Structure 1
Amino acid sequence: MSFSSTIQVLKVENEERTSKRTGNAYNHFAARVILLTDDGEVDTVGVINSRRITPELRDAMKLGTYRATFALKVPDFGEDKGDVVCMLTGLVPVPVKGQNPPAAAAAKAS
């Protein structure tokens, strides 16, 4: 089962941290986002953390507006093992009214 929604990524956090409990280094990844209604209005603001983003999408997560696809999954490891959770599984950039699409802006700059 999957569904989609429009999100606007405001900030991406991607940094090395050290676990206070184990002392081991780990990569902290999170995206601060606005969830938009179908009319483009703000529905809510929140964080999508690394446990909710498939690893292959982390590099694609940049500032901007996207049509995001989510799916219900049951992780077999970690804090959420055995729980039904929502995972971000796809991102498609959405042109925003009044802004040039990235390809057009890059072509214009050259």
Structure 2
Amino acid sequence: MCTTLQILKVNPVRSGVARESQKPYEWHTAACLLLDDEGNVFSVGQMNFPKELREKLGGVPPVGTYKAIISFAALTGRRAGEIGPQIIDLVPVAN
């Protein structure tokens, strides 16, 4: 499954220590648009780039348009044990 994602702005990294676990965390996010098949804006929001995706991509990708490859997988963190969708790759789209 894939969808088109447009990254508008990469946000500064937020970091700290989790209250419950006392483990350090980092949130890498970007302001994004989800586009429909015709290229129209379907939704606007903020996307979190988990560590595994950042490692695969070499960090949060720059502003641009991407095909987001989505797969179902076992989730981690607070949702550990659940199966849900996650982006496993972003492929740049030529404009």
TM-score range, shorter chain: 0.7 to 0.9
Gaps of 5+ in 2: none
1:24 and 1:52, CA in 2 relative to 1: closer, same or farther beyond 3 A?
closer
Identity within the alignment, %:
29
What's the counterpart of residue 73 of structure 2? 73
Aligned to 1:89: 88
- Structure showing greater Rg: 1
Give the structure with the larger strand fraction: 2
Matched residues, number? 93
TM-score normalised by the chain length of structure 2:
0.79
Partner of 1:37: 36
Rounded to whole Å, the distance in 2 between the matches of 1:32 and 1:52 is: 17
Whole-angstrom distance in 1 between the partners of 2:63 and 2:3: 16
Q: CA deviation at 1:54?
A: 2.0
How far did residue 58 of structure 1 move? Answer: 5.6
**Mind listing any 5+ residue stretches in structure 1 that lack a counterpart?**
97-110
Letter in 2 for 1:37: D
